[in-house]
Every structure is written in C-alpha cells, then in structure tokens.
C-alpha cells in the first residue's frame, strides 16, 4: 500500500518507474487528463475575456481547474453569473471539434471495471458529456460535475462525493489531475494523486507520481485491490 519509485538510465534520459498499490477506485479529472482540451479552453476564455473587457491572461491563468461560475465570481464579480456561464458554454461548444483524447486514455479506461472509476470535473454536465463524445471516450456510470457540488476545486467536495458514491474509502482512491487546484482537492480529500502533463511537473514533491500522459500507465486488479504502474523520462541536470 503505497508508492514504489525506481529509476533506470539510458542515453541522456532517466526513466523513473513508479507503482501505487492498495487502491479500490481511480478518479479522473477530465480536461487535460483524459481530453486534450487546454488549448480549446484557453481560446474560449480569451474570447470571453475580450467580449467582457477583461484581462485575457489573468482569466486563462485562473480558469484552469475551476468551475466557470467560480471563475466569473473571481474575475468579474459585477456580472451575472448565470448569464456568463451560459455564454462560456456557447463558446466551449464552438471549439469542441478541436479536441483529442490524451494519449493512452482509451486503453487505460478500457481495462478498468465500470465500478472502479469515475470522472470528477469542474465542467457542467453537457460540456463533460460532449467532450467525452467528441474524442470517443466512454462515459462512466459516475460523473461528478460542477452541478453536483456546492464548492469547486481546490475544495475536496467533488472527490469525496465520488468516493462516497463508489463506496470506497478516500485513502483507497487515486486521483489523476493536471491542475494545482485539483491536486489541492485530492490532497485535502486524503487521496493519492498522479500528476498528468508538464503543468504538474513543478508540483511533483506533493504528488505520489507523475506522467506526461497516460500512455505508460497500467492498472492491475488483485486480491489487495488495484495496483497502478507507470513511468516518466527525465533529463539529468547537466546533460541537456
């Protein structure tokens, strides 16, 4: 029950292997973890910011991992939240055809029993379903969205609700996240966390493991639960 890092070196890179055991459920953030949507979301947010006369860089920086309603309250407290969330959703649908699945996502999800995984996203139900459909990924039986919680990430409410509905103790859940606010939510929930993508590499001391994408991740079920294994390549200092 825990994390077992190992290293092997070849050429100018070091391959770091890891395992996390003693799990009963895997909880996935959606954007940036299962779906390559970060560029599309950034385009959407910049368009919305321009329409409302807001600082696009600030909006993009604060949008990652947050519910649209929380973002509006943060960057434009004088605007009507429902109206702005509806407009952001319209812009989201306009860029839906630019999305792709994260490498390895389909293969990993295809190996998991339906009752062992869920999605916890800051998006709305229509946006979550549309993004999964756009990239051809399966929709799990449990999807926790912005509509299901009173408090968005970094509050742990979404992850704790998913664990409760799956009937799994938080300490036997592993979260896949690509945003610091998501890592904060997973940590506050008492769950282990695998960082996905370069945006999470700087947070690696707080992570149980890290991967560039899901291509190296494997899940194997046994008597003691699910064991995750994966790896990432790094270039040692002075060898660039």
Enzyme catalytic residues: 29, 31
Is residue 155 exposed (0-12), middle (13-18) or buried (19+ Cβ within 10 Å)? middle
Per DSSP, the three-state class of 184 is helix
Distance from C-alpha of 77 to C-alpha of 203, rounded to nearest angstrom: 30
> Exposure of 101 by Cβ count < 10 A (0-12 exposed, 13-18 middle, 19+ buried)?
buried
**C-alpha triplet 193, 137, 153: angle, nearest 5°:** 35
Ramachandran bin of 238, using left for φ above 0, alpha for ψ from -120 to 50, beta for the remaining angles = left
Task: Let me know: does 90 contact 108? Beta carbons within 8 Å.
Answer: no
Question: How far apart, in whole angstroms, are the C-alpha atoms of residue 123 and residue 146?
Answer: 6
HSE toward the beta carbon, residue 40, CA cutoff 13 A:
22
Rounded CA gap, 188 and 114, in Å? 25
């Amino acid at each position: 029950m825990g994390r077992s890092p190992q290293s092997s070196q070849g050429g100018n890179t070091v391959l770091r292997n890891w395992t996390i055991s003693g799990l009963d459920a895997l909880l996935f953030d959606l954007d940036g973890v299962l779906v390559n949507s970060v560029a599309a979301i950034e385009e959407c947010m910049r368009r919305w910011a321009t329409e409302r006369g807001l600082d696009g860089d600030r909006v993009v920086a604060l949008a990652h991992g947050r519910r649209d309603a929380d973002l509006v309250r943060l960057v434009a407290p004088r605007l009507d939240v429902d109206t702005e969330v509806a407009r952001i959703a319209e812009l989201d649908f306009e860029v839906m055809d630019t999305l792709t699945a994260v490498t390895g996502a389909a293969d990993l999800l295809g190996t998991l029993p339906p009752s062992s995984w869920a999605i916890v996203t800051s998006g709305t139900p229509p946006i979550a379903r549309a993004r999964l459909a756009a990239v051809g990924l399966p929709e799990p039986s449990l999807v926790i969205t912005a509509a299901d919680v009173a408090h968005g990430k970094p509050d742990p409410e979404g992850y704790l609700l998913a664990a409760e509905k799956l009937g799994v103790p938080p300490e036997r859940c592993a979260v896949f996240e690509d945003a610091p606010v998501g890592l904060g939510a997973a940590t506050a929930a008492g769950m282990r966390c695998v960082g996905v993508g370069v945006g999470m590499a700087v947070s690696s001391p707080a992570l149980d493991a890290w991967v560039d994408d899901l291509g190296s991740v494997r899940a194997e079920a046994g008597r003691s639960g699910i064991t995750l294994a994966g790896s990432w390549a790094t270039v040692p200092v002075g060898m660039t």
